[in-house]
A and B are shown apart, each in its own frame.
Chain A
Amino acid sequence: MGKFILRRLGFMVLTVILASIIIFWATTVLPGDVASQTLGRFATEQAKTELRHQLGLDRPVTVQYASWLGGYVRGDWGTSPSMDTLVRPVVFERLRNSFMLAVVAFALYVPLGIFLGLLAALRKNTWADNLISVGSLAFIGLPEFVSGLILIAIFAIELHWLPSQSSIDPHSTFVEAFPYLILPAITVALTSLAYVVRMTRSSTVDVLQMDYVRTANLKGLPPRRVLFSHVLRNSLLPTITVVAIGIGWLIGGLIVTESVYDYPGIGRLLLFAIQRRDLVLIQATALLIVIIYVVANLVADILYAVLNPRIRYN
Chain B
Amino acid sequence: MEATIPMQAPPGGAAKAPRPVFEIEGLHIDYTTELGVLHAVRDVSLMVNEHESFGLVGESGSGKSTLAMGSIRYLASNGKVTDGSVRLNGVELLGLPAKELRELWGSRIGVVYQSPLSALNPSIVIGKQLAEVARQHLGMDRSAASTRVIEMLTKVAMPDPEAVMKRYPHQLSGGMLQRCVIAMALMTDPSLLIMDEPTTALDVTTQAVVLDLVADLKREFDSAILYITHDLGVITKICDRVGVMYAGQFMEQAALYELFKRPLHPYTLDLLGCVPHFDPTPQKRSLVTIPGAIPRVDQLPPGCIFAPRCKFVEEACTTARPPLVEVAGAHLSACRRWEVVPPPAEYLRDATEAVRAAQTEAARPGVLVEGDDVQVHFKAPKGVIRAVDGMDLEVRIGETLGVVGESGSGKTTVARAIIGLTPSTGGTITLRGKRLPRSTGRRPRATLKEIQMVFQNPDASLNPTRSVGDAIMRPLSLLGGLDRQRAKERAKELLLAVSLPVSYFERLPHELSGGEKQRVAIARAFAAEPELILCDEPISSLDVSVQGSLMNLLMRLQVEKQTSYVFISHDLSAVQHLSDAIAVVYLGHVMEIGDATRVLTPPFHPYTEALLSAIPLADPDIKQKPIRLGGSVPSAMFVPSGCRFHPRCPRCLGEVCVEQEPPWREGEGDHRIYCHIPLEELARLQAETLVLADQGEGA
Q: Which residues of A contact B (CB under 8 A)?
A: 210-212, 214-222, 229-230, 233-234, 307-310, 313
Q: Which residues of B have CB within 8 Å of A210?
A: 118
CB distance from A216 to the nearest CB of B (A): 7
CA distance A169 to B181 in the complex (A): 63
Please, which residue of chain B has its CB at the minimum distance from the CB of A212? Answer: B121
CB of B123 within 8 A of chain A?
Answer: yes
Give complex CA distance A233, B106 in Å.
22
Contact A219 B119 (CB under 8 A): no
B590 at the interface (CB under 8 A from A): no
- On whether the beta carbons of B121 and A217 are closer than 8 Å, the reply is no
Q: How far is the CA of A210 from the CA of B118 in the complex (A)?
A: 7
B132 touches A (CB below 8 Å): yes
A-B contact pairs, 13 of them (CB 8 A): A211-B115, A211-B119, A212-B118, A215-B111, A218-B72, A220-B104, A221-B136, A222-B102, A229-B124, A233-B124, A234-B121, A310-B122, A313-B170
In the complex the two chains form, is B105's CB within 8 Å of A217's CB?
yes
Evaluate contact between A307 and B123: CB separation under 8 angstroms.
yes
Q: Which residues of A contact B181 (CB under 8 A)?
A: 215
> B137 at the A/B interface (Cβ < 8 Å)?
yes
Are B122 and A309 neighbours in the complex by a CB distance under 8 Å?
yes
Contact code string B493-527 (vs A, CB < 8 Å = 1, else 0): 00000000000000000000000000000000000
In the complex the two chains form, what is the Cα distance from A140 to B105 in whole Å?
43
B119→A310 contact, CB < 8 A: no
A310 to B113, CA, bound (A): 21
Contact partner, B136, options A219, A230, A233, A307, Cβ 8 Å: A219
A-B residue pairs, 9 tightest by C-beta: A220-B106, A219-B106, A220-B105, A211-B118, A309-B168, A212-B121, A211-B119, A215-B119, A218-B111
Q: Does B133 have its Cβ within 8 Å of any Cβ on chain A? A: yes
Within 8 A of A (CB), among B101-118: 102-107, 109, 111, 113, 115, 118
The answer for the CA separation of A214 and B72 in the assembled complex, in Å, is 13
Q: How long is the Cα–Cα vector from A220 to B124 in the complex, in angstroms?
A: 17
Given contacts A218-B105, A308-B122, 4 further A-B contacts (CB under 8 A): A211-B119, A218-B109, A220-B106, A221-B106
B119→A220 contact, CB < 8 A: no
A218 engages B106 (CB within 8 Å): yes
| Cα distance A310–B167 in the bound complex, in angstroms | 11
B263 smallest CB distance to A (angstroms): 33
Q: Is B673 in contact with chain A by the CB < 8 A criterion?
A: no
The answer to whether A220 touches B107 (Cβ under 8 A) is yes
> A64 CB to closest chain B CB, in angstroms?
40
**CB-nearest residue of chain A relative to B102?**
A220
Residue in chain A with minimal CB distance to B110: A218
B123 lies within 8 A of A233 (CB): yes
B:57-111 near A, CB below 8 Å = 72, 74, 102-107, 109, 111
Q: Confirm or deny: B120 has a beta carbon within 8 angstroms of a beta carbon on chain A.
A: yes
B425 at the interface (CB under 8 A from A): no
Quick one: given A215-B119, A219-B136, A221-B136, are A313 and B168 in contact (CB under 8 Å)? yes
Chain B: which residue is nearest A220 at the CB level? B106
Task: Say how far A74's CB is from chain B's closest CB, in angstroms.
Answer: 38
Cβ–Cβ contact A216 & B121, under 8 A: yes
A219–B124 CB distance below 8 A: no
Determine the residue in chain B with the shortest Cβ distance to A210: B118
Q: Which residues of B are in contact with A by a Cβ distance under 8 Å?
A: 72, 74, 102-107, 109, 111, 113, 115, 118-124, 132-133, 136-137, 168, 170-171, 181, 184
Q: How far in angstroms is the closest Cβ of chain A from B200?
A: 13
B105 touches A212 (CB 8 A): no
Q: Out of A218, A220, A222, A233, which one reaches B121, CB within 8 Å?
A: A233
Min C-beta distance of B280 to chain A, whole Å: 39
Contact across chains for B136 and A220 when beta carbons are under 8 A apart: yes
Which residues from B are CB-within-8-Å of A217?
A: 74, 105
Q: Which residues of B contact A214 (CB under 8 A)?
A: 74, 113, 119
Interchain CA distance A308-B170 in the complex, whole Å:
11
Minimum CB–CB distance from B294 to chain A (whole Å) comes to 25
Given A233-B124, A309-B122, A310-B168, answer yes or no on A211-B113 (Cβ-Cβ < 8 Å). Answer: yes
Most chain A CB neighbours (cut-off 10 Å) among B74, B115, B123, B124 = B123
Q: How far is the CB of A311 from chain B (nearest CB, A)?
A: 10
Closest chain B CB from A96 CB (angstroms): 37
Note all chain B residues with C-beta closer than 8 A to A309: 122-123, 168, 170
- Give min CB distance, A95 to chain B, whole Å: 35
Bound: A234/B118 CA distance, A: 13
Chain A residues, Cβ within 8 Å of B103? 220
What residues of B have a CB within 8 angstroms of the CB of A310 in the complex?
Answer: 122-123, 168, 170
Shortest Cβ distance from residue A120 to the other chain B in the assembled complex, whole angstroms: 16
CB distance from B20 to the nearest CB of A (A): 22
Q: Which residues of A contact B123 (CB under 8 A)?
A: 233-234, 307-310
Residues of B within 8 A of A216 (CB): 121
Give the docked Cα–Cα distance between A220 and B115 (Å). Answer: 20
Known: A217-B74, A310-B168. A230 touches B121 (CB 8 A): yes
- Return chain A residues, CB-CB under 8 Å to B132: 219, 221
Distance A219 CA – B188 CA, assembled complex (angstroms): 10
Question: Which residue of A is nearest B187, CB measured?
Answer: A219
Inter-chain contacts of A212 with B (CB < 8 A): 118-122
Query: Which residues from chain A contact B119 at a C-beta distance below 8 Å?
Result: 211-212, 214-215
Q: In the complex, A218→B104 CA distance in Å?
A: 9
Min distance, Cβ B671 to any Cβ of chain A, angstroms: 43
- What B residues does A218 contact at CB under 8 A? 72, 74, 105-106, 109, 111
Q: Check A220–B137 contact: CB distance below 8 A.
A: yes
Chain A min CB distance to B117 (Å): 9
With A230-B121, A309-B168, A309-B170 as contacts: A215 and B113 at CB distance below 8 Å: yes
Are A219 and B105 interface neighbours, CB within 8 A?
yes
Cβ-closest chain B residue relative to A215: B119
Shortest beta-carbon distance from A267 to chain B in Å: 37
Min CB distance A307 to B, Å, is: 7
Quote the shortest CB–CB distance from B450 to chain A (angstroms). Answer: 41
| Complex Cα spacing A310 to B103, Å | 32
What residues on B are CB-neighbors of A222 within 8 Å? 102
* With known contacts A220-B104, A220-B107, A310-B170, A215–B120 Cβ distance under 8 A: yes
Note all chain B residues with C-beta closer than 8 A to A211. Answer: 113, 115, 118-119
Q: How far is the CA of A212 from the CA of B113 in the complex (A)?
A: 10
Question: Chain A residues near B184 (CB, 8 Å)?
Answer: 219
Q: Which residue of B lies closest to A222 (CB)?
A: B102
What chain B residues lie within 8 Å of A229 (beta carbons)? Answer: 124
Residue numbers in A under 8 Å from B137 (CB-CB)? 220
Question: Within the assembled complex, what's the spacing in Å between the Cα atoms of A216 and B74?
Answer: 12
Q: CA separation between A296 and B149, bound complex, in Å?
A: 41
Pick from B102, B104, B120, B171 the residue with the most CB of A within 10 Å. Answer: B102
- Bound Cα distance from A229 to B123, whole angstroms: 10
Residue of B nearest to A229 (CB): B124
Task: Give the docked Cα–Cα distance between A211 and B136 (Å).
Answer: 20
